[in-house]
């Protein structure tokens, strides 16, 4: 990130100068979303919402292939439902929007005030285990009703005091899957199956390489027996979760009375799972791929694929250039990129260079300029977002049409490889307490956000050690990778024997 610093960049500040502010500026310049006048809530603008639609489309198909069906459950959760699972209510009671009245009425001063108090306060869902559990307990009576595999796409609210667009907002969009099974093995298989789907989404579509593993007890979903996660490294070397899947054991089945009669006519509690990803993923896309010129979108999930920019300096050229552009757009739109129609923007604003920079900042994978000379030569002038803004080349029109799919694939691959290299470069096995503390101490005093990255270090399994590191450094265990058991050594905090090497990092 050092070199770009000196060049003129489209985004101010650069990543190296002020990463958090760079992030806000990239989101703004790309027109993905903005803060709303409602505290903590965001407005997702069309360019950002298209990313969510594409994510939804990909995930929804993968879910359905495994037998999951979509449904919809109430926005409101009665207070008593939330109280049914002790850890769960403790975690969410602190940050929930509470509906207490069902109308507004003129007060003594003529202004509207809340009226019609509701008997039992309703909580706007922060997650739906308890309300979906109430349905599951009605729907399930026999082993023949299992497994029950349900997903919902919806909004949820977790009241946040300090918000950051996409990463931490009071309202966000997500999907939450909820399943019930007859055996713990089956439930655990499902938990991991869904984690694998998230890994496929993250890796193949978002071009984000993520580390897979289990959460330590302190980082588990409140009420879960095991939480599994994908942890990706952002460009400030902090970790961001790109999917979590929870094995809930029988905790929520007991809380919601989800019972079934087995083939042997015993009455048993079911085993449940839940799993979800949210609009936070858009923040992960921004922070993984973007550069000091703005957003960079992976083609597989991009809001659109190509921007065509006709260049018309003389009125006499207008018709030929526009016809050429329209015909090209039509031919491109007639093609598919991995099952999705190629999406083409025609930008005929007459703004000169600013127009090209707009599309760079919006992160569109391909920019195509078309002037009278290009038309005459039957060629187009192409810029790729994974290359420098001025690195453009003239390509014969027909060749461009024929090769657009492999070009997009190449961009997709480059973004993934670049992110993987970055993560590998900033991931280190650390074996001494001293090195560990140094690793997480900012190297650049001007930018306190930048530190070492992911540390693979031993941990004895004691929550006290975990807590000490968090208190001292603001560093947490992001996950325990599946092969962790094999790596023995000494706990980075207390020096005791440790049977596993885990991933430590600062995190969003």
* Measured distance CA(85)–CA(272) in Å, rounded: 14
> Which is closer to a second copy, CB of 222 or CB of 489?
222
Nearer to a second copy, 5 or 70 (CB): 70
Cβ atoms within 10 Å, residue 173: 19
* Element of type H or E holding 286: helix 280-289
Nearer to a second copy, 92 or 247 (CB): 92
Identify whether the C-beta of residue 238 lies closer than 8 Å to the C-beta of residue 287. Answer: no
Residue 500: φ, ψ to 5°: -150, 150
Shortest Cβ distance from residue 372 to a second copy (Å)?
25
Bond prior to 147 in cis (omega within 30° of 0):
yes
Strand pairing category for 259-261 and 267-269: antiparallel
Closer by beta carbon to a second copy, 69 or else 336: 69
Judged by DSSP in three states, 183 sits in coil
Q: What is the DSSP letter of 390?
A: T
Rounded to the nearest whole angstrom, what is the least distance from the CB of residue 51 to a second copy in the complex?
A: 11
- With respect to a second copy, which residue has the nearer C-beta, 81 or 454? 81
- Helix 353-362 to helix 19-30 angle (10° resolution) is 120
Separation of alpha carbons 461 and 368, rounded Å: 55
> What's the start-to-end Cα distance of the chain, in Å?
20
DSSP at 215: P
Q: To the nearest whole angstrom, how small is the minimum distance from the Cβ of residue 125 to a second copy?
A: 10
Shortest CB 162 distance to a second copy, Å: 14
User: What sign has the CA pseudo-torsion 320, 321, 323, 328?
Assistant: positive
Please state the closest distance from residue 61 (CB atom) to a second copy, in A. 11
User: Between residues 60 and 409, which has the closer beta carbon with respect to a second copy?
Assistant: 60
Nearer to a second copy (CB atom), residue 76 or residue 508: 76
In the complex with a second copy, the residue whose CB is nearer, 173 or 407, is: 173
Residues that bind a second copy (CB under 8 A): 34, 36-38, 41-46, 49-50, 52-53, 69-79, 81-83, 89, 93-105, 112-114, 116, 121-124, 131, 134-135, 138, 150, 154-155, 157, 159, 171, 173
At closest approach, how far in Å is the CB of 493 from a second copy? 33
Q: What is the phi/psi pair of residue 315, to 5°?
A: -55, -35
| Closest separation in Å from C-beta 306 to a second copy | 17
Are 262 and 250 in contact by the 8 Å Cβ rule? The answer is: no
Name the minimum Å distance from CB 44 to a second copy: 4
Task: Give least dist CB 380 to a second copy, A.
Answer: 25
Contacts of 113 (CB under 8 A, 6+ apart): 104, 105, 106, 107
Question: What separation in angstroms does the CA of 313 have from each of 217, 307, 318, 372, 373?
Answer: 64, 19, 8, 9, 12
What letter does residue 335 receive in the DSSP assignment? S
Nearest distance from residue 207's CB to a second copy, in Å?
23
Nearer to a second copy (CB atom), residue 141 or residue 444: 141
Helix (H, G, I), strand (E, B) or coil at 500: coil
Q: Under DSSP, is residue 10 helix (H, G, I), strand (E, B) or coil?
A: coil
- Which C-beta is closer to a second copy: that of 42 or that of 300? 42
Is-contact 150 69, C-beta < 8 A?
Answer: yes
């Amino acid at each position: 990130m050092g070199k770009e610093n000196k060049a003129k960049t489209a985004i101010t500040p650069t990543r190296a100068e002020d990463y958090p502010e760079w992030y806000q500026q990239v989101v703004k310049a790309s027109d993905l979303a903005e803060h709303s006048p409602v505290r903590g809530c965001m407005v997702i603008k069309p360019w950002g919402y298209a990313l969510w639609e594409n994510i939804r489309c990909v995930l929804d198909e993968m879910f359905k292939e495994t037998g999951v069906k979509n449904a919809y459950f109430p926005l409101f959760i009665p207070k008593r439902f939330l109280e049914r699972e002790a850890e769960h209510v403790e975690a969410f009671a602190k940050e929930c929007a509470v509906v207490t009245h069902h109308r507004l009425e003129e007060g003594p001063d003529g202004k509207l005030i809340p009226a019609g108090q509701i008997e039992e306060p309703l909580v706007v869902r922060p997650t739906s285990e308890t309300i979906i559990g109430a349905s599951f307990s009605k729907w399930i009576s026999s082993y023949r009703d299992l497994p029950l595999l349900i997903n919902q796409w919806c909004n949820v609210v977790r009241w946040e005091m300090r918000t950051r667009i996409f990463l931490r907002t009071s309202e966000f969009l997500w999907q939450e899957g909820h399943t019930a099974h007859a055996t713990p093995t089956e439930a655990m298989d499902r938990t991991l199956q869904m984690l694998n789907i998230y890994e496929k989404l993250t890796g193949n579509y978002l071009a984000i390489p993520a580390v897979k593993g289990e959460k330590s007890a302190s980082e588990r979903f409140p009420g879960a027996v095991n939480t599994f996660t994908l942890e990706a490294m952002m460009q400030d070397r902090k970790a961001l979760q790109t999917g979590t899947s929870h094995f809930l054991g029988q905790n929520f089945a007991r809380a919601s009375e989800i019972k079934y009669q087995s083939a042997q006519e015993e009455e048993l509690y079911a085993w449940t799972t839940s799993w979800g990803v949210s609009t936070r993923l858009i923040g992960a896309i921004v922070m993984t791929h973007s550069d000091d010129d703005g957003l960079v979108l992976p083609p597989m999930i991009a809001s659109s694929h190509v921007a065509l920019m006709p260049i018309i300096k003389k009125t006499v050229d207008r018709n030929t250039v526009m016809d050429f552009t329209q015909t090209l757009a039509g031919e491109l739109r007639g093609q598919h990129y991995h099952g999705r129609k190629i999406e083409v923007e025609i930008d005929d604003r007459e703004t000169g260079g600013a127009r090209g920079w707009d599309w760079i900042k919006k992160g569109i994978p391909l920019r195509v300029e078309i002037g009278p000379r290009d038309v005459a030569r039957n060629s187009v002038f192409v810029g790729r977002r994974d290359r420098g803004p001025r690195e453009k080349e003239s390509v014969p029109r027909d060749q461009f049409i024929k090769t657009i799919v492999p070009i997009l694939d190449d961009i997709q691959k480059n973004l993934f490889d670049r992110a993987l290299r970055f993560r590998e470069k900033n991931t280190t096995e650390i074996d001494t307490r001293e090195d560990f503390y140094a690793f997480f101490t900012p190297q650049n005093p001007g930018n306190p956000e930048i530190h070492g990255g992911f540390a693979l270090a031993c941990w004895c399994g004691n929550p006290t050690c975990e807590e000490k590191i968090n208190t001292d450094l603001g560093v947490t265990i992001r996950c325990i990778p599946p092969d962790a058991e094999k790596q023995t050594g000494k706990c980075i905090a207390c020096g005791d024997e440790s049977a596993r090497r885990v991933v430590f990092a600062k995190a969003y």
